[in-house]
C-alpha cells in the first residue's frame, strides 16, 4: 500500500488504533503470511522510510524502550479498551506476539501476578512495533518500494 491508512481493527490491539509497522523484516513477513493464509493472496511487503528526526520535533511520541511495567500496563489497558491516558501520534515499543498475548490473558484472568507476568516477558525476544496513530503521523512515512515474498 503506497499510501498507508489508519483503519478500525476488529479487536483491541497493543497500541490501539493505528497503522502498524516494524523494523524487523522477519516479523513483518510472519504477520504478512498469517494474513495471507486467512484471506488468500501472496505475501507482499510495503516498505517505508520513517523520518523520525522530523517526527521528534512536531509529533506526540510515546517510546517504550523495553517491555517493562509501564509498557505492560499500557498494553493491557489498550487491549481491554480501558486506556484513559494521553493520546499519541506515534507509539513505539515491543510487540506482544501470541506468546506474550497468552501471558496477558493469564494476568487479566487473575491466574498470574503482574510480577510473574513481567518475568515471563523478559525471557523471550520481543521485536518492535511502530504504530502511527493519527493522520498527522502518516506524513512522516514515505513509501519506498514493495517486496514480494513467497
pLDDT tens readout for residues 47-79: 999 999 999 999 999 999 988 889 989 988 998
Give residue 32's pLDDT: 87
Grid coordinates given for 8: 478500525
Q: Max CA-CA distance within the chain?
A: 45
Per-position DSSP letters for 112-130, written without gaps between them: S-HHHHHHHHHHS-PPEEE
Q: Of 94, 95, 24, 93, which Cα lies nearest the Cα of 63?
A: 93
The residues, any chain, with a CB within 8 Å of residue 142's CB and separated by 6 or more, are: 48, 49, 51
Grid coordinates representing 108?
A: 487479566
Split at pLDDT 50, 70, 90, the class of 98 is low
Amino acid at each position: 500500500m503506497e499510501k498507508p491508512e489508519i483503519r478500525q481493527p476488529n479487536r483491541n490491539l497493543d497500541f490501539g488504533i493505528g497503522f502498524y509497522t516494524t523494523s524487523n523484516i522477519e516479523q513483518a513477513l510472519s504477520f504478512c503470511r498469517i494474513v495471507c493464509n486467512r484471506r488468500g493472496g501472496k505475501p507482499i511487503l510495503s516498505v517505508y522510510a520513517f523520518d523520525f528526526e522530523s517526527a521528534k520535533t512536531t509529533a506526540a511520541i510515546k517510546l517504550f524502550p523495553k517491555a517493562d511495567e509501564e509498557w505492560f500496563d499500557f498494553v493491557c489497558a489498550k487491549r481491554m479498551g480501558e486506556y484513559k491516558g494521553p493520546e499519541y501520534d506515534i507509539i513505539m515499543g515491543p510487540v506482544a506476539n501470541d506468546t506474550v498475548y497468552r501471558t496477558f490473558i493469564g494476568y487479566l484472568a487473575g491466574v498470574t501476578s503482574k510480577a510473574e507476568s513481567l518475568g515471563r516477558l523478559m525471557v523471550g525476544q520481543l521485536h518492535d512495533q511502530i504504530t502511527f496513530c493519527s493522520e498527522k503521523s502518516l506524513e512522516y512515512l514515505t513509501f519506498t518500494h514493495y517486496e514480494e515474498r513467497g
